[in-house]
Amino acid sequence: MINHLIIEYVISGSQARGSPTRSLTVAEPVRISSPSPSRGRRSLRIDIVNKNILWLFLCISVLTGCAYFAVQSAPKKSPSTTRRPAAEQADALFWKTLHGGQYDQIPVALNALTAAYIVDPGDATTAAHIGWLHVWRIAERTRMVDIPATITDHAVMGRRYFEEAVRLNPKDARYLGFYGGILLAEGSIHQDEKLTRKGYFTLMDSIKAFPEFNYFTAGYVMSERPRDSKQFNEGLEYQWLNLDVCVGEKVNRHNPDYQKYMHLKTDKGQKRVCWNSWIAPHNLEGFFLNMGDMLVKAGDWQTAQKIYANARFSDEYNQWKFRDLLEERITQAETNVTAFNAPQDTAGRTAQPIMFQSAFSCMGCHQE
């Protein structure tokens, strides 16, 4: 309608050139198909119309092009080189909360970190730690008696902060792995297939960049899928590949005895993430707990029993909060095949959840 008016105005203007009155009301409708006594005048008019349409489109595309280039050429946010005292203080609270398993205190730590981030939004570590707290909040949501629908907001927030962390420090591929995982979650909440695919391919990139860490990350998020799905089986394969890359050879899949690899333990380089550390004091135990759960879910409870049992080789096994739970997993492996495949209720609960869906999906490795 607006276009029509503009064209009409232009025509009437050009027609009225030289005449004393130039107004909208003098516009003559352009009749292209009907015969007219003056052919020459009509075709001139059509020419003018076409030209003006062309200009109009040109203007529009230049304007949108402008917006595109303005956005693309925006100055890059640069990462901070030093950390502020507020960030360090907030971090101390962050680690205390994480290692202490103080799920209820997440809002307090989150507030301290977010305040530090606002002061220095170039701090990649702060951004990542905020992202991790949001992820923890949503991951262990079954700790809550009533899970509010708004728990899903933590996926959106977690994704936003990991996006920032990846941009500020693309070299830490742990960020990329968690970014991929949380994208998958967000995609699934919003039923946004584009996001889901982006999440999947981000996870693939993260594996390439840091296989020792991200085979686990990618496979862990896939453990939630139905056991006959492609993704679940891919995720289980990643757990095996994670072991292979950690020990530098193909681990025997029929008799996965990890004792012979325990001397490889290191706190250096990429392989450090294969073992227990200050950051993840029970990483090894948690890894085997999840892998056993995935094998049971797949129906292979006999191999699962051997995988679970590898957790006992950890020097920290006796101090591990989930030791009794793992021992129970070994004795109940066969009966858990059915239990682990039971459907979830709308809040995502099942009577006997696998580790990923449990109230210790982060604490299984991180709680002191």
Nearest-angstrom CA–CA distance, 180 and 326: 29
Which of residues 283 and 303 has its CB atom nearest to ligand HEC in the complex? Answer: 283
Nearest-angstrom CA–CA distance, 330 and 247: 24
Number of residues that bind ligand HEC (CB under 6 A): 20
Nearest-angstrom CA–CA distance, 352 and 340: 6
Nearest-angstrom CA–CA distance, 345 and 229: 19
Question: What mask of x and - would describe binding to ligand HEC in positions 99 to 138, judged by CB under 6 A?
Answer: --------------------------x------x--xx--
Minimum distance of ligand HEC from residue 104's CB (angstroms)? 15
Among 158, 219, 256, 364, binds ligand HEC (CB under 6 A): 364
Q: Could you tell me which of 206, 119, 204 has the C-alpha nearest to residue 162?
A: 206
Restricting to residues 134-153, name those near ligand HEC by CB under 6 A: 135-136, 139
Among 160, 198, 272, 312, binds ligand HEC (CB under 6 A): 272
- Which residues, in sequence order, are CB contacts of 68 under 8 Å at separation 6+? none
Rg (CA), the chain: 30
Contact region with ligand HEC (CB under 6 A), list: 20-28, 74-82, 154-162, 276-284 = 276-284
Minimum distance of ligand HEC from residue 167's CB (angstroms)? 16
Q: Is the Cβ–Cβ distance between 179 and 162 less than 8 Å?
A: yes
Q: Is the Cβ–Cβ distance between 130 and 167 less than 8 Å?
A: no
At 32 the three-state DSSP class reads: coil
At 241 the three-state DSSP class reads: helix
Q: Could you tell me which of 32, 28, 33, 38 has the C-alpha nearest to residue 7?
A: 28
Restricting to residues 194-213, name those near ligand HEC by CB under 6 A: none
Which of residues 11 and 91 has its CB atom nearest to ligand HEC in the complex? Answer: 91
**169 is a site residue for ligand HEC (CB under 6 A):** no
Contact region with ligand HEC (CB under 6 A), list: 61-69, 255-263, 283-291, 339-347 = 283-291
Contact region with ligand HEC (CB under 6 A), list: 3-11, 38-46, 57-65, 360-368 = 360-368
Position 235: which residue type? G
Which of residues 251 and 279 has its CB atom nearest to ligand HEC in the complex? Answer: 279
Nearest-angstrom CA–CA distance, 173 and 271: 14
**283 is a site residue for ligand HEC (CB under 6 A):** yes
- For binding to ligand HEC (CB under 6 A), which residues are involved? 125, 132, 135-136, 139, 174, 216, 272-273, 277, 279-280, 283, 286-287, 361-362, 364-366
